[in-house]
Amino acid sequence: MKSNLFTVIFAIVMGVVCSLVLTAVAEWITPRREANEKAERYRNVLEIFNIAVAEGAANQEIIKTFEEKVTIVGDDPANPDYYLYGRLIAIPAQGPGLWGPIEGLIGLARDGTTITAVSFYKQEETPGLGGEIAGKDFTDRFVNKKLFDTRGQPALKLVRPGRAKGDYEVDAISGATMTSDKVQALITAAAEKFKSKEAE
């Protein structure tokens, strides 16, 4: 049995060594990690604006392209109200899904209502049913639809598959009513938030 003093000293030395190692690692990694997070967010926005980014593009490249072309509107750069590229607009849309949070972006044309692109880059919906919202088949259905009606109210509706008519209706995913309802809710919420911020 070793002495109490030795035990205490050993514990202190172990603690110091471990924390030194962890501090060093954190110092080394943190800038890279933050760049990763930023680049990921920027890449999603660039894709909505249809600005080409190479598949394996480095973080700096993405951040540089983004900062050259896109303006962030809003007080908190990590959680902006919307993005501007020339007069094209991208609105962040987020909300609860069926199983987990859904995050996406809605791209609008110069008129501020015609949709150019939609993406849901984060979702955990049922694979094969609600999970299809991330697929191109679904997101393409939004293109050239209108987010707001002539009075400026959010008007886009997801309707039962095969029934979509006109500028304000999009076919929902068949067999995924619950997910479609959540998507509808988060699009309307994003549109309302955008209107209120734009008015400021």
Partner 1 sequence: MKFLLRILDKVRPAFEADGRFAFFKPLFDAFDAFCFSSDETTKCAPFARDSLDIKRYMSMVIIGLLPATLAGLYFFGWRILPVIVVSYAAGGAVEVLFGIIRKETINEGFLVTGLIFPLTLPPGIPLWIVAVGMALGVLLGKEVFGGTGHNIFNPALVGRAIIAVGYAKPMTSAWIKPGARLWGNLGGYLTSPDAVTIATPLVQAKQQVYEPIANMFWGNVSGCIGETCAAAILIGGVFLLLMRIANWRTVVGIIGSFVVLNVIMRALSPEVFAPVGFNVLAGGLLFGAFFMATDPVTSPITNPAKWAYGIFIGCVTLLIRSLTVYTEGVMFAILLGNIFGPLFDEVVFRFRFRRYRLEI
Partner 2 sequence: MAQAPVPIGGPTAKSTFLAGLWANNPIFCQILGICSALAVTTRLENSLVMGVALIFVIAMSNLAVSILRHLIPRRIRMIVEVAIIATFVIVFDQFLKGYYWEMSKQLGPYVGLIITNCIVMGRAEAYALHNKASLSVVDGIANGLGYAVILAIIGASRELIGTGKLLGYEVLSGNWYVPNHFFIYPPGAFIALGLLIWLIRAIKPQEDDSSQSGAGS
Q: Residues interacting with partner 1, by CB under 8 A?
A: 98, 126, 128-129, 174-175, 177-178
How many residues of this chain interact with partner 2, rule: CB under 8 A?
A: 22
Q: Taking contact as CB under 8 A, which single stretch among the options 33-41, 64-72, 77-85, 110-118 is the one that binds partner 2?
A: 33-41
CA distance 156 to 187: 8
Residue closer to partner 2, measured from CB, 54 or 199: 54
By CB under 8 A, residue 26 contacts partner 2:
yes
Residue closer to partner 1, measured from CB, 109 or 129: 129
Q: Of 134, 140, 132, which is closest to residue 121 (Cα–Cα)?
A: 134
Residue whose pair of structure tokens reads 């293109």 in the numeric block:
143
Instruction: Report which DSSP code applies to 154.
Output: B
CA distance 152 to 183: 20
CA distance 163 to 165: 6
By CB under 8 A, residue 56 contacts partner 2:
no
Helix (H/G/I), strand (E/B), else coil: 125: coil
Residues at the contact surface with partner 2, assessed by CB under 8 A: 1-2, 6-7, 10-11, 14-15, 18, 21-22, 25-26, 28-29, 32-33, 36-37, 40, 127-128
